[in-house]
Structure 1
Amino acid sequence: MTTVTGVQGEERHDYSKAESRALRARSLRLLGSLLTPVRRLLWTTLAIIVISTAAQVAGPALIAYGIDQGLPALLDQNWFPVAFAGLAYLVTGLAGAFLVAGYIRLAARISQAVLIDLRTRVFLHTQKLSLEFHESYTSGRIISRQTSDLDSIRELLDEGINQLVRGVLYMVFTAAALVWLDWVSGLVLVATLVPLALLTRWFQVRSQQLFRRSRVASAKLIVHFVETMTGIRAVQAFRKERRNEREFGDLVEDYRDVNARVLGLFAVYNPALALIGNTAVAVVLLIGGFRVVDGGLEVGVLLAAVLYTKRFFDPMEELAMFYNSYQSAASALEKISGVLEEEPSVPDPKRPVDLWTADGNVRFEGVEFSYTADRPILPHFDLDLPAGQTVALVGSTGAGKSTLAKLIARFYDPTGGRVTLDGVDLRDLHPKDLRRAIVMVTQEAYLFSGSVADNIALGRPDAPMDEIVRAAKAVGAHEFIEGLPNGYDTDVNKRGGRVSAGQRQLISFARAFLANPAVLILDEATSSLDIPSERAVQEGLQSLLAGRTAVIIAHRLSTVAIADRVLVMEHGRVVEDGSPASLIAGTGRFASLHAAWRDSLV
Structure 2
Amino acid sequence: MAKSISANQSKKKSPHLNRFYYPLDQAVEKPFNWKQMLRLLNYLKPYVKTLMPAAIAVMLISTIVRLVVPVIIGTWVIDKAITEQNVSLLTYLIIGISVLYLVSFIANKYRIKWVNILGQRVIHDLRKSLFSHVQRLSHNFFDSRSAGSILVRILNDVNSLQELFTNGIINLLMDIVLLTGIIVMLFVLSPPLALAVLIILPIMFFISTKLRRTIRRSWQDVRIQKSRLNSHLNESMQGIRITQSFSQEKENTEFFDGVNGDNYEKERVAMKKSAYFGPFVEMSNAIGTVILISYGAHLIINGSIQIGIFVSFAFYLGMFWEPISRLGQIYNQLLVAMASSERIFEFLDEQPNVKEKENAQTFKDMKGHIVFDHVQFAYNEDRIALHEISLEMKPGQTVALVGHTGSGKTTIANLISRFYDPTQGSVKIDGHDLRDMRLDSLRTNISVVLQDTFIFSGTIMENIRFGRPDASDEEVKEAARVVGADDFIKRLNNGYETEVEERGNILSAGERQLLSFARALLADPRILILDEATASIDTETEVMIQTALKRLLQGRTAIMIAHRLSTIREADNIIVLEHGKILEQGNHDELMKHGGEYYDLVKSQFEMLDAL
Q: TM-score interval w.r.t. the shorter chain?
A: over 0.9
2:84 matched residue in structure 1? 73
Measure how far apart 1:149 and its partner are.
Answer: 1.7
Offset from partner CA, 1:71-94 (integer Å, 9 cap, x none): 3322xxx44543444333223222
In 1, the alpha carbon distance for the partners of 2:272 and 2:440 equals 56
Contact 1:365 1:418 in 2 (8 A): yes
1:35 to 37, 44, 49: 44
- Counterpart Cα distance in 1 of 2:498 and 2:282: 64
SS in 2 for 1:427: helix
Pairing partner for 1:159 from 137, 158, 167 = 167
Are 1:252 and 2:256 matched, yes or no?
no
Query: Given residue 81 of structure 2, which amino acid in structure 1 is its aligned partner?
Result: G
Greater mean alpha carbon deviation, residues 390-399 or residues 456-465: 456-465
C-alpha distance in structure 2 between counterparts of 1:420 and 1:335, whole Å: 37
The equivalent of 1:286 in structure 2 is 294
- CA contact 2:369–2:429 (8 Å) conserved in 1: yes
The answer for the alignment partner of 1:45 in structure 2 is 55
Identify which range, 326-335 or 576-585, moves more after superposition: 326-335
The counterpart of 1:191, out of the listed 160, 184, 199, is 199
**Does the Cα contact within 8 Å between 2:67 and 2:182 map onto a contact in 1?**
yes
Asked if structure 1 preserves the Cα contact closer than 8 Å seen for 2:456 and 2:463, the reply is: yes
Q: 5 Å matches for 1:102-141?
A: 102-141=110-149
- 1:348-376 Cα distance to aligned partner (Å, 9 max, x none): 33223232221110001122211112322
Which residue in the other structure is 1:315 paired with?
A: 323
Alpha-carbon distance in structure 1 between the residues aligned to 2:516 and 2:279: 64
Indicate the SS of the match to 1:44. Answer: helix
2:415 maps to: 407
* 1:218 matched to 2:226: yes
1:57 matches 2:71 = no
Contact 2:115 2:167 in 1 (8 A): no
Distance in 1 (alpha carbons) for counterparts of 2:505 and 2:145:
25
Offset, 1:110: 1.0
Moved over 4 A (4+): 7-10
Deviation string 1:36-76 (CA, Å, 9 cap, x unpaired) is 100122133223212211211222211211212223322xx
> Does residue 1:601 correspond to 2:609, yes or no?
yes
- Residues 522 and 552, structure 1, Cα contact 8 Å, conserved in 2: yes
Could you say what secondary structure the match of 1:491 adopts?
Answer: coil
Q: 1:57-456, aligned counterparts within 5 Å? A: 57-65=67-75, 66-74=77-85, 78-456=86-464
Amino acid paired to 2:168:
G
Deviation readout 1:269-293 (Å, 9 max, x if unpaired): 3222211211111112111111211
The CA distance in 2 between the partners of 1:479 and 1:180, in whole Å, is 87
Letter aligned with residue 73 of structure 1: E
Residue 521 (1) aligns with residue 532 (2): no
Query: Percent identity over the alignment?
Result: 34
Per-residue CA deviations over 1:281-313 (Å, capped at 9, x if unaligned) read: 111211111121111211111121122223211
Segments of 5+ residues of structure 2 without an aligned counterpart are: 1-20
Per the normalisation by structure 2, the TM-score is 0.92
Measured in 1, the distance between the counterparts of 2:161 and 2:574 equals 55
Q: 1:4 aligns to what?
A: none
Cα contact 2:490–2:496 (8 A) shared by 1: yes
Secondary structure at the counterpart of residue 535 of structure 1: helix
Q: Is the 8 A contact 1:393 1:569 kept in 2?
A: yes
CA displacement at 1:112 relative to structure 2: 1.9
Contact 1:215/1:331 (8 A) holds in 2: yes
Distance 1:36 1:450 in 2: 36
Cα RMSD between the aligned structures?
2.0
Instruction: For residue 392 of structure 1, report the CA deviation from its aligned partner.
Output: 0.8
Structure 1 unaligned blocks of 5 or more: 1-6
Aligned-pair CA distance for 1:9 = 6.7
> Does 1:580 pair with 2:588?
yes
| Corresponding residue of 1:571 | 579
CA distance in 2, matches of 1:471, 1:15: 56
What secondary structure, in the 3-state scheme, does the structure 2 residue paired with 1:446 have? coil
Distance in structure 2 (CA, Å) of the matches to 1:315 and 1:16: 28
Residue 246 of structure 1: CA displacement?
1.5
Who is 2:27 aligned against? 13
Q: Distance in 2 between matches of 1:437 and 1:165?
A: 53
Letter in 1 for 2:60: V
Closer/same/farther in 2, CA of residues 297 and 436 from structure 1, 3 Å limit = closer
Aligned equivalents of 2:79, 2:56: Cα separation in 1: 34
Q: Report the 3-state secondary structure (helix = DSSP H, G, I; strand = E; otherwise coil) of the residue aligned with 1:73.
A: coil
Distance 2:136 2:206 in 1: 46
Q: Secondary structure of 1:403's match?
A: helix
**Could you tell me which of 30, 35, 38 is aligned with 1:25?**
35
Contact 2:464 2:522 in 1 (8 A): yes
1:505 and 2:513 correspond: yes
Q: Tell me the alpha carbon deviations over residues 516-540 of structure 1, each in whole angstroms, 9 at most, x when there is no partner.
A: 2111111111111112122222222
1:13/1:71 CA distance change after superposition, 3 Å: same
User: In structure 2, how many angstroms separate the alpha carbons of the residues matched to 1:324 and 1:239?
Assistant: 44
SS in 2 for 1:392: strand
8 Å CA contact retained: 2:175, 2:326: yes
Question: CA separation in 1, counterparts of 2:127 and 2:275?
Answer: 35
One-letter code of the match for 2:584? E
The match for 2:16 is: none
**CA pair 497-276 structure 1, distance change in 2 beyond 3 A:** same
Determine the structure 1 residue equivalent to 2:3: none
Could you tell me how far 1:399 is from its partner in structure 2?
A: 1.1
Identify the match of residue 548 of structure 1 among 556, 561, 564. 556
Task: Supply the distance in 1 between the matched residues of 2:272 and 2:362 (Cα, whole angstroms).
Answer: 62
Whether contact under 8 Å (1:58, 1:92) holds in the other structure is no
Amino acid of the residue matched to residue 35 of structure 1? L
The alpha-carbon deviation at position 162 of structure 1 amounts to: 4.5
Which residue of structure 1 aligns with residue 11 of structure 2? none
SS in 1 for 2:130: helix
Q: CA offset at residue 317 of structure 1?
A: 2.7
Instruction: Measure, in 2, the Cα distance between the counterparts of 1:15 and 1:488.
Output: 54
- Rounded Cα–Cα distance in structure 2 between residues aligned with 1:464 and 1:164: 54
Name the CA distance, whole Å, in 2 between partners of 1:520 and 1:30: 43
Aligned residue identity for 1:481: I
Query: Does the 8 Å contact 1:122/1:339 carry over to 2?
Result: yes
In the superposition, relative to structure 1, how do residues 548 and 267 fare at CA in structure 2: closer, same or farther (>3 Å)?
Answer: closer
